[in-house]
Chain A
């Protein structure tokens, strides 16, 4: 077996204890619920007997390892518990709302990469220049912006003052009917259906929250691109390439940029973690019907099964994504699986 293949397999194997850990932590969070869940589920008018009955039916009278086992069995069967507020199984609620969150997060990430990476490269190419200054201001200001505040400010400017943005309420204006669900992404579904009017309406709803989220993720990506591009440009092999007469664009993009991209790819994982968190806040501001706002609503009414389901599914999503990023990394970097650098 080649060292590369072994490294990739190792990476896959390494994900297993993390998934187990995630499940354990989420189980512990469930058990750490304030108060007695049985009392809570039984309702205010319950007497001792009915509480005991519920405790038994929920398996809360069993020893902890047994409870954990039941918890895992339930999870494997896709049972994340029942949401009190919606009355639906948590897993159904989450799958219904996940596309909305993903559409928002991915649009924002693509948007911020499209701006941050070129900006970082330009800044690194000419340190001290205007684009470098711009990059630095943007980076420091960007990480200081509370997403919920940027969102509110954007709503005030573009909806209230300029009146060019639609009202910040959800994914689609009431006048439109949501497109037939294929992927759950309105932009894609509307395009597939050829319904461009709906597409544009969905796009208008999406743009402000996506920009809010993108502004938040811009800073770390631009900072990392600038730093890794600077270090790549000052490395010895760039001097070799210059001395061999390779032209500037080949040196910058063919040699430096490809090397600089590796750390940027790693940063994307971290950025994704941030944006999944920030997503919750942005969804609340724009009343976006994703899993973030679902969790916030659940928190307000103490619907704990829903909150735990949300936390667990976010963690699993993030683990998967990190795995994908690492595997991509091992495809780009030939050194993976070898000790020497």
Chain B
């Protein structure tokens, strides 16, 4: 039907490849485009937060305490007279840093474990699966609490805790994806082509697990942010006066019953937007990285 038409166009279309496909998907999906724009905004805030912020996030001002949002202070001021907007913007870097490094750690460790278990199977697989089962037997937030409590109350430990609780998700996903492809025709073909096991795994099987992994990464970044903010909300990890969304919500919570809503609402809203962005991206990424969708 469309084959003949496709033939002539394809030569040019293939050249530009991934980029044009990305643009194509974005055009058809304005929500994903929005998610990308929001991601850009968050990355910008993370990279140059202090330059974007109108005030010093740590500077208190006794004259302007607990002021509601105004043109001077878009998000109002806190009980020490610090500008909430500046604090919210500068907090982006820390929150994203925790999430990204935790997810990167669990991505790498999970991929390695999952590949080994999924491809070679056997005893290794059983041991790994049981270990992961045990880790997953803990409610994840509770385990994170336990780890931070045991390792010590620092930002690095929040990263490690978040990474540990996420490893099972990646390992299981990769294991399942590798396992279903272990006996696929193209894997046999790759072996016949003279590829060693390691090469088959690294060059033929693993790249095919990336589409679902990308989706998982994106969704996980959202969870990781929520998790870190949750931990600091209950007083773990980041310590005041460092600006961080979870702590700011916790500090603002005490004022909510007396009507000073802006203290908790704006950092909470920002936190929500960041998580929302990553969740939207997760769905959008699925369309972009999956080559079967390219047409």
Complex Cα–Cα for A315 and B150 (A): 16
B109 at interface, CB cutoff 8 A? no
B41 at interface, CB cutoff 8 A? no
* Interface members, chain A 285-310 (any B CB < 8 Å): 285, 295-296, 299-300, 304, 307-308, 310
Q: Mark A296-337, 1 if CB is under 8 A from B, else 0.
A: 100110001001101100110011001000000000000000
Complex Cα–Cα for A307 and B138 (A): 14
Select the residue from B222, B234, B259 with max chain A CB neighbours within 10 A.
Answer: B234
A284 at interface, CB cutoff 8 A? yes
Count of chain B residues near A, Cβ 8 A: 52
Contact at A156–B256, with CB atoms within 8 Å?
yes
Complex Cα–Cα for A270 and B207 (A): 28
Residues of B within 8 A of A141 (CB): 276
Given contacts A144-B222, A311-B142, contact A155 B256 (CB under 8 A): yes
A273 at interface, CB cutoff 8 A? yes
Report the minimum CB–CB distance from A304 to chain B (whole Å): 7
Residues of B within 8 A of A18 (CB): 130, 133-134, 137
Contact at A140–B150, with CB atoms within 8 Å?
no
Given contacts A144-B272, A146-B271, contact A152 B133 (CB under 8 A): no
Q: Mark A257-300, 1 if CB is under 8 A from B, else 0.
A: 00000000000000011101110110011000000000110011
Residue from B146, B233, B259 in contact with A281 in the complex, judged by beta carbons closer than 8 Å = B233
* Interface members, chain A 137-186 (any B CB < 8 Å): 140-141, 143-149, 152-153, 155-156, 159-160, 167-168
Complex Cα–Cα for A29 and B145 (A): 11
Complex Cα–Cα for A308 and B145 (A): 10
A32 at interface, CB cutoff 8 A? yes
Q: What are some 23 contacts across the A-B interface (CB < 8 A)?
A: A21-B133, A29-B147, A140-B280, A141-B276, A143-B279, A146-B275, A148-B233, A148-B246, A148-B249, A148-B253, A152-B253, A155-B256, A160-B258, A277-B139, A280-B230, A281-B233, A284-B233, A285-B253, A295-B145, A296-B235, A307-B145, A310-B142, A311-B142
